[in-house]
Amino acid sequence: MRPIAEAIEGSNAKRGLWSSRFAFILAATGSAVGLGNIWKFPYITGENGGGAFVLVYLLCIAAIGLPIMMAEVLIGRRGGRSPVNSLKAIAGHDRLNPAWRMVGAVGVIAGFLILSFYSVIGGWAVSYVGTAASGQLTGQSADAIGAIFSNLLADPVTLLMWHTLFMALVMLCGGKRGSRGDLSARSPFLMPALFLLLLTVVGYAMTTGEFGRAVTFLFQPDFTKLTTSGVLVALGHAFFTLSLGMAVMMAYGSYLPKGISIAKTSIAVCVIDTAVALLAGLAIFPIVFANGLEPGAGPGLIFQTLPLAFGQMPMGSLFGTLFFVLLVFAAWTSGISLLEPIVEWLEEQKSMNRTRSTLAAGFVCWLLGIASILSLNLWSDFAPLGWIGMLEGKTVFDLLDFFTANILLPLGGLLVAVFAGWVMSREAIEKELALSKPMFRLWYITVRYITPVAVGAVFIYNLFGS
Ligand code: TRP
């Protein structure tokens, strides 16, 4: 299922294209589906009170995420080059306006920052493969499961070991040319297997007796629980979970053959990604309620709930091991797509070869990751920007997450929307998207007006609102 090299004229000639729409969807979901869906979505939903937050998140996916994904893929396919060169080619200038150069810069900076903490969480997932396989979870109480997790967090050396291992895995694949999510493209069974295992846990969760309460929590909006910052988190997460705002989908789009529908493929990616997140929520919250756990427990939520389910269900050690293995794969393919923009940038700027660029990029992410590890133990009370109201009590790890997902990615997405809506020629876009008239108009109005206004408004409210 590797992208096959097709001799076509123009800029795509040497790049090789995806062999089919299916291959593109596999690669794009390989990037999109990751820790964001299974680790982050449930815990931020718990922290932000459930239903109303989920509704805003779904709205952000449909009304902002999907149109921006289409814009990224469109720019990539139209330009047929690396993201920044595509923007240059489309804008028709050799020296790109600084505003558009920022799209590339956001990609590189966000890549460094996100991968640094992403790898630490990926390390947690790796460590739980062993925990589940060794049968330690079987029959344990919620307290014992909680203790396994807090012991892991309290130990910087162990965390560093797993973080190092995860980063090494990412670099191993990132070092190969044209890696763009190849792993998932070559192993098309990974995603369906993860889906099936999630369904298994949902099936188990239904037997806990609290399934109804979880469904109410997730899908019955209570707007009194939604805060201004909750809206920002929902918006930011829509970008994070769909891998938007970093020009990653733009890079993927440059390999998409002409004639394949950008709208249909983007919708498929959004639907799969959202389905995985919602399933994760349905798997986790019944366990939360059945065991009297705290929905707002924070980043450890899945590691304090899923192991309980695996400890209680028949053949739980087997299912648990498989689940964490697949979670590692999902995080791995996403991690590769986070490293890619940095590696490409280093290759272009410093004329380093691919191996060196990968080593350099990976090393910096690894080093930065140590700050996130320390935030979990030695620096857990250290809130460097705590004097800013909104950032009160946020550790280095929290800050990295907040700044990238809630600020950098929406900013990158905003730039993409403005570029597609205001810089590109309307005719070119119409041809490229090949939508019906009313659908095109809807999309165009969204990227031209709705997205910039919505993202701007959420930013302004959070800065100046209470
Ligand atoms: N979408 C991935 C997740 O949900 C994370 C990710 C991978 C990402 N590549 C990205 C986020 C690029 C933003 C941009 O886990």
Mean pLDDT estimate for the chain? 90
Of 189 and 219, which is predicted with more confidence? Answer: 219
Contact (Cβ atoms closer than 8 angstroms) between residue 262 and residue 74:
yes
For residue 4, give the 3-state DSSP assignment: strand
Separation of CA 326 and ligand 1 centre (Å): 16
Question: Which residues does ligand 1 sit against, CB inside 6 Å?
Answer: 31-32, 34-37, 114, 240-241, 243, 246, 248, 334, 337-338, 409
Which residue lies with its CA nearest to atom 13 of ligand 1? 243
Q: Which atom of ligand 1 is nearest to the CA of 34?
A: 15
Give, in order, the Cα–Cα distances in Å from 330 to each of 135, 166, 172: 23, 12, 15
Q: Tell me which of 183 and 87 has the higher pLDDT.
A: 87
**To test ligand 1's pocket by mutation, which of 235, 334, 401, 403 has the most ligand atoms within 8 angstroms of CB?**
334
| Ligand 1 mutation pick, 31, 173, 235, max ligand atoms within 8 A of CB | 31
d(CA 44, CA 49): 9
| Among the ranges given (5-14, 96-105, 249-258, 435-444), the one the predictor scored with the smallest mean pLDDT | 5-14
Q: Full-prediction pTM beyond 0.85?
A: yes
Q: Nearest Cα to 68, choosing from 279, 276, 277, 241? A: 241
Nearest partner of 227 among 389, 395, 52, judged by Cα:
52
Where are any strands of DSSP class E within 107-232?
A: none
Which residue has the least CA distance to atom 10 on ligand 1? 243
Whether the predicted pLDDT of 98 surpasses 60 = yes
Which pLDDT belongs to residue 32? 96
What ligand 1 atom has the least distance to the C-alpha of 337?
9
Distance separating alpha carbons of residues 288 and 36, to the nearest angstrom? 19
Q: Which is higher by pLDDT, 400 or 340?
A: 400
